[in-house]
Structure 1
Amino acid sequence: MKKRLLPAICVALILLYAFTRRQPLQRFHLNGYAQGTTYSIVYYAADSLISLKQTDSLLQRFDESVSLYLPGSLICKFNRSVKGIRVDQHFQRLVREAIKIHRETDGLVDPTVKPLVDAWGFGAIKASHTPDSNEVKKLVKNVGLKYISLKGNFLYKTRPNIQLDLNGIAQGYAVDLLANLLERQHIKSYLIELGGELRIKGTKPGNQPFTVGIEGISGFDAEPMRKVIEPPDGAITTSGNYRKQHEAGGKPISHLMNPLTGYPVNNEMISITVYAQDAVTADGFDNGFMAMGLKRTLAYLAKHKNMGAYIVYRKADGSIKDTTTMSFKSKRPI
């Protein structure tokens, strides 16, 4: 009896597999709110495999780890602590990633920059005045990765005034978390966007590529889009100093801080769009490249072919120009 049933079961399983293979892919779209911004997920699958409840829950847990806008989050607890606290895996991974990018950018990406962000008026609580040079000197004394260390799951700090701001890489990491969630369900075609940071894999049905538009900068470009690309699997993130800024002393100042000087970044860079294999890398480096400036950024990318960038910058005569690295050009520009 068992010998006769076995072939029948095998045939049934083969037919079931063939049926599921023939099911057409459908388009599913999820929208939500996290990290103080919106997110959107488009994916193609034979059935609805991911729910909004799943993505919201995932991102909520992440916010409870590193959101500066939640007083009970781990990062807020760390910032209020005297010697440090125990942190979860998300926090640990972000700190390790920040340390790596800090080294690669010669210290221009530094998660201990929060005192400067707050003082220059870009924190959760707006500053009452613009810091003078003496205040900046005092603030810089409490900025530096040398004052923190991660041992196991405990994040130590050697100065009580050390405070972390992981916003420079948190959104990219959140995008990667969503991508991992989809890939655990064997979803092979998707586009994820959170706060303008993107993660892309596969193509639409019919082998149609996903397209990504890089917007023009208001006041610099009459065109609504400077460039439209068809990126391969990977991530696209953008950093710029033309949106998050305000005036100090009659001059616009950027939200991007130079942790080495204590002052907002002020160079020829206007914006940079970075391609990398994952979003936390692209997101972490885009601010670093803004601080590094055009020449150093191009030199770095020339040595790292797995990354690419589209850069908008201001020339010495005040004119606006753009440039694209060879690695970015190969991402099927339209």
Structure 2
Amino acid sequence: MNNRTKNSIYSLILIAIVATVWFYRDSQKPKTEKLPYIFISGEAQGTTFNITYSDSENRNFKNQVDSILKTFDLSLSTYLKNSEIVKFNQSDSFTFNSPYFYPVLEKSQEIYEASEGAFDPTVFPLIEAWGFGPEKVDFPDSSRIEEIKEYVGFDKINFNNQRVVKEKENVSLDFNAIAQGYSIDVVFDYMKAQGIENMMVELGGELRVKGKNEKGDLWSIGIDDPKAQAGQQSSRVAIIKLDDEAISTSGNYRKFFLYEGKKYGHSINPKTGYPIQRDIISATIVAPTCMEADAWFTAFMVTGLEKAKEILATQSHLKAFFIYEDEKGELQQFNTENLSENIIL
């Protein structure tokens, strides 16, 4: 072997060694490259939606989300005259074609039973009577409320995965207290099916998250201070981090009306037929799905604090944060133990 050949071999060996060392050192470096985060927004269900997500393919899902939410409303919106739920309310029975009607019926029955009737989608006639629906009306008299209560109760319908039937005439459904959360789940599941690993899907103040935000942290949500005056910049009483969870939060501290000196919230008790203003003035529910968080928020605004605590003890998959008024009218806070590690403020 001549010197020229030897030198060539040594050069190749040296190059191989250098390349090996470079690749090894490169593999040990922290990966700083971040996937681009995309933001899309729009209007739906009388409010707005905002979605933030990362995608290596830089895809924009705005048109697909708009289409999903439009189809969803054609099934479950009481504000669209040709929706499936409106057709059911105007008939004795209904065979639904969309994939959305049955899941919300099934979950509604589950929460209706677990909440001992505090959550009840057949409350729709009472919502209309009190002017909280599409049509505005005057304060109803007690005899009218008693009449309506005769056809309020989720046990007054029967259903399977294709059809829902009224057991009593005039029963009507309203899924507004669960459907908005469910629509978030539907969009979330679509995005997840496209391979999206990091996202926040928000609609009307309710949201569901997966993975991390653009800073590489868990998504964090602020809870407004009920003492802040309307129109002022809201302060936060808590910030809650979410780990692949959904959250629904709101309250009656701004949603109420006065009649003859008495305060009424916009939460209707299906058992009494009247709007109520319980000790809970703000409820935040964290759950695996936004459909559950949405519905349970409504239920707990009806039950009040002590009953809510009893129910929560049987629902380990739920986390709750309540702001309530004590006997002296002072604001207090309560959260379930399983939420404590999520609270960062």
**TM, length-normalised to structure 2:** 0.86
Which of 2, 22, 42 does residue 32 from structure 1 map onto? 42
> Compared with structure 1, are the counterparts of its residues 205 and 32 closer, same or farther at alpha carbon in structure 2 (3 Å cutoff)?
closer
2:77 is aligned, of 67, 81, 87, to 67
- How much does 1:332 deviate? 4.5
The structure number with the bigger radius of gyration is 2
Match of 2:207 among 198, 220, 226: 198
Secondary structure at 2:342's aligned position in 1? coil
1:322 equivalent to 2:333? Answer yes
Q: Pick from 176, 181, 203: which aligns with 2:185?
A: 176
| Number of the residue aligned with 2:165 | 156
| TM-superposed deviation, 1:218 | 4.1
Q: CA RMSD in A?
A: 2.0
Candidates 99, 122, 133, aligned match of 1:89 = 99
Is the partner of 1:311 in helix, strand or coil?
strand
The count of aligned residue pairs is 312
d(CA) in 1 for partners of 2:180, 2:119? 15
Q: Distance in 2 between matches of 1:323 and 1:218?
A: 16
The letter of the residue matching 2:274 is Y
- The aligned counterpart of 2:54 is 44
The answer on whether the counterparts of 2:239 and 2:343 sit within 8 Å (CA) in structure 1 is: no
CA contact (8 A) 1:25 1:47 kept: no
Q: Secondary structure at the match of 2:37?
A: strand
Equivalent position of 1:253 in the other structure: 264
Aligned pair partner of 1:111 in 98, 105, 121: 121
Q: 1:22 to 1:312 in 2, by over 3 A?
A: closer
Please tell me whether the aligned partners of residues 283 and 301 of structure 2 are also in contact (alpha carbons under 8 angstroms).
yes
Give per-residue Cα distances to partners, 1:173-217, cap 9 Å, x unaligned: 011011101100111101111011110111135632222111111
Alignment-derived partner of residue 9 in structure 1: none
d(CA) in 1 for partners of 2:336, 2:33: 41
Identity, % of aligned positions: 34
CA distance in 2 between counterparts of 1:255 and 1:31 reads: 28
State whether structure 2 residue 304 is matched by structure 1 residue 312: no
Q: In the alignment, does 2:304 pair up with 1:293?
A: yes
1:227 aligned to 2:238? yes
1:190 partner amino acid: M
Alpha-carbon offset, residue 50 of structure 1? 4.2
Which residue among 134, 147, 153 is the counterpart of 1:124? 134
Runs of 5+ unmatched residues, structure 1? 1-20
Note the C-alpha offset of 1:244. Answer: 2.6
1:92-118 CA deviation, whole Å, 9 max, x = no partner? 111111111000000111111011111
Instruction: State the alpha-carbon separation in 2 of the partners of residues 158 and 240 from structure 1.
Output: 33
Partner of 1:53: 63
Give the 5 Å matches for 1:275-294.
Answer: 275-294=286-305
| In 2, Cα distance between equivalents of 1:300 and 1:162 | 27
Distance 2:81 2:60 in 1: 30
- CA distance change for structure 1 residues 225 and 22 in 2, over 3 Å: closer, same or farther? closer
What is the CA-CA distance between 1:147 and the residue it aligns to? 1.6
Aligned equivalent of 1:274: 285
Structure 2 partner of 1:134: 143
Residue 287 of structure 1 and its aligned partner are, at CA, apart by: 0.7
Matched to 2:122, the amino acid is: T
Q: What SS does the aligned partner of 1:139 have?
A: helix
Residues 30 and 52, structure 1, Cα contact 8 Å, conserved in 2: yes
Secondary structure, in 3 states, of the residue corresponding to 2:178? helix
C-alpha contact (below 8 Å) 2:102/2:160 kept by paired residues: no
CA 1:278–1:151 in 2, change beyond 3 Å: closer, same or farther?
closer
TM-score, normalised relative to structure 1: 0.89
Q: Measure how far apart 1:220 and its partner are.
A: 7.6
Preserved CA contact (<8 Å) 1:265 1:291: yes
Contact 1:42–1:192, Cα closer than 8 Å, also in 2: yes
SS of aligned partner of 1:228: strand
Q: C-alpha displacement at 1:119, in angstroms?
A: 0.9
- Indicate conservation of the 8 Å contact 2:287/2:318, yes or no: yes
Change (3 A) 1:308 1:220: farther
- SS of 1:253's partner is strand
SS of residue in 2 equivalent to 1:230:
strand
